Amino acid sequence: MNRHLSLRSGNPVLNKNSFNTASSTSETMTIEGTVNKTAISLILLVGTGYYTFNDINSTLIITCGIGGFIFALITIFKKKWAPITVPIYAILEGGLLGGISYKYNSIYDGIVTNAIFITVGILLSLLMAYKSGYIKPTENFKLGVVAATGGIAIVYLISFVMNLFGSSMGIMDPNNASLMSIGFSFVVVAIASLNLVLDFDFIEEAAEKNAPKYMEWYGAFGLLVTLIWLYLEILRLLSKLNSRR
């Protein structure tokens, strides 16, 4: 009996159609291959981030942000191009995260190191919990995470629209140290973390279904998106906690 109940993930780039492609070659997706591609992507991201973690360059941040978004869209709609677009996406996102991280670290020294360790810790602990069977992505679990992720996305959209009109949403402010704001960030970090479990399950099932080899890069892309989201939200949460001191 297949323990994977459906190809569902809260990650917007990993949906039920992502791996709905039969492979006509002997080259098929493997979990080991996806892990290797994820490691390569993270090395590129961290390397670029380290290079840009030295000054607040608004032009660079905006350019990397827009470029990363464009290559993310290309990857989603042209999955066969993933072996090329995903490394480029990782490099651009690294540039973006380097600038954002520098900004946070200039206010609270050491916050970036803490955020990185927490992100890696969550990733490894959830991976072990998933592989050992302590966390089982049942259908209800998946539905709950997907619904919660959708609700958070709506909050992000409302905040973005408000910013366009010169207003802001208090709970999204990294300097807002209210209990409600901090509580919201804890919830977002928790939901982002649970999305990793769905991503693990999604990739494992895709490998079992012999998805095409290039989907290893696409699977790595999906994990990268979730990890970037998680890291940014941990930075925001730590900033709120530090502002209470």
Token readout for 217 is: 């890069």
* Total of domains in the chain: 1
Residue 156 in any domain: the answer is yes
For 74-103, the pLDDT digits (tens) are: 999 999 999 999 999 999 999 999 999 999
Residue 111 in any domain: the answer is yes
Residue 115 in any domain: the answer is yes
Check: pTM over 0.85? Answer yes or no: yes
Residue 209 in any domain: the answer is yes
Handedness of CA 128, 129, 133, 138 (dihedral sign): negative
For 4-61, the pLDDT digits (tens) are: 545 455 565 665 555 554 444 458 999 999 999 999 999 999 999 998 898 778 888 8
Residue 163 in any domain: the answer is yes
| Other CB atoms within 10 A of residue 144 CB | 14
CA 193 from centre of chain: 9
CA 201 from centre of chain: 15
For 149-176, the pLDDT digits (tens) are: 999 999 999 998 998 888 878 888 898 8
Token readout for 235 is: 């930075």
For 9-23, the pLDDT digits (tens) are: 556 566 555 555 444
- What is the pLDDT averaged over residues 211-235? 96
Residue 1: band (very low, low, confident or very high) from pLDDT cuts 50, 70, 90:
very low
Residue 79, CA atoms < 13 Å, CB-side half-sphere: 18
Residue 25 in any domain: the answer is no
Domain around 127: 31-242
Residue 14 in any domain: the answer is no
Handedness of CA 73, 74, 75, 80 (dihedral sign): positive
Amino acid at 15: N
The answer on pLDDT for 233 being more than 90 is yes
For 119-131, the pLDDT digits (tens) are: 999 999 999 999 9
Residue 10 in any domain: the answer is no
- What is the pLDDT averaged over residues 203-217? 93
Report the pLDDT value the prediction gives residue 163, as an integer from 0 to 100: 85
Residue 228: band (very low, low, confident or very high) from pLDDT cuts 50, 70, 90:
very high
Report the pLDDT value the prediction gives residue 179, as an integer from 0 to 100: 92
Report the pLDDT value the prediction gives residue 243, as an integer from 0 to 100: 87
